């Protein structure tokens, strides 16, 4: 999966870092498919690079209550905090908001005969999951993510 920013000549993008509370320019992570396969587990590769999904209730983070920052398992970008995580009952980790709109991007996903909004990592274009309009207030959003594409950096 190519990052569309790659074709525009963009080499770096602004991303928010939770630990510093600042926006920093970070280089895009652009690897070949062979490099991604070598770097990721088979499940991570299937989900992140081929837009797969893990089975409901099978991911390591769907029920965790540990405190920390959920980062992209492919590139380390901060994506969500445990403070925004909630139990949606769907079997996937769900969050009401990302750490910053800079750190994710969305696009229409018309696969599987449905129309959904896909969530991708801004830095490496990894498929993370989908966002729905049935989350809790105040955002009303449910960012339904795959554990395979997340890495929890514990802070508590």
pLDDT band at 10 (very low <50, low <70, confident <90, very high): confident
Check whether 108 has a pLDDT greater than 70: yes
- Indicate if 121 belongs to the active site: no
**What phi and psi values does residue 144 have, to the nearest 5 degrees?**
-95, 105
- What mean pLDDT is predicted for residues 50-59? 96
What is the distance between the terminal CA atoms of the chain, rounded to a whole angstrom?
Answer: 35
Q: What is the 3-state secondary structure (H, E, C) of 27-65?
A: ECCCCCHHHHHHHCCHHHHHHHHHCCCCCCCCCCCCCCC
Of the residues 72, 74, 121, 144, only one is catalytic, namely 144
Check whether 4 has a pLDDT greater than 60: no
Q: Which domains does the chain have, with CATH numbers?
A: 4-154 (2.170.150.20)
Q: Which residues on adjacent β-strands are paired with residue 151?
A: 71
97 token code pair: 């908001």
| Gap between the Cα atoms of 142 and 84, Å rounded | 10
Distance of CA 69 to the CA centre of its chain: 12
Say which residue, 80 or 8, is predicted with more confidence: 80
Task: Look at residues 3, 21, 23, 38 and name the one whose alpha carbon lies nearest to residue 123.
Answer: 3
10 token code pair: 């963009």
C-alpha angle 6-11-14 in degrees, rounded to nearest 5: 110
Check whether 143 has a pLDDT greater than 80: yes
């Amino acid at each position: 999966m190519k990052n569309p920013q790659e074709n525009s000549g963009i080499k770096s993008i602004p991303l928010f870092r939770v630990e510093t509370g600042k926006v920093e320019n970070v280089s895009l992570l652009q690897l070949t498919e062979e490099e991604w396969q070598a770097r990721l587990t088979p499940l991570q590769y299937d989900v992140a690079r081929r837009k797969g999904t893990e089975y409901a209730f099978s991911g390591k983070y769907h029920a965790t209550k540990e405190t920390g920052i959920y980062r992209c398992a492919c590139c380390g970008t901060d994506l969500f905090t445990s403070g925004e995580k909630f139990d949606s009952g769907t079997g996937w980790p769900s969050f009401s908001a990302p750490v910053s709109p800079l750190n994710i991007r969305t696009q229409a996903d018309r696969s599987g005969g449905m129309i959904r909004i896909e969530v991708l990592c801004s830095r490496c274009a990894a498929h993370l999951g989908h966002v729905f309009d049935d989350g809790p207030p105040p955002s009303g959003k449910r960012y339904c993510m795959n554990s395979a594409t997340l890495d929890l950096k514990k802070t508590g």
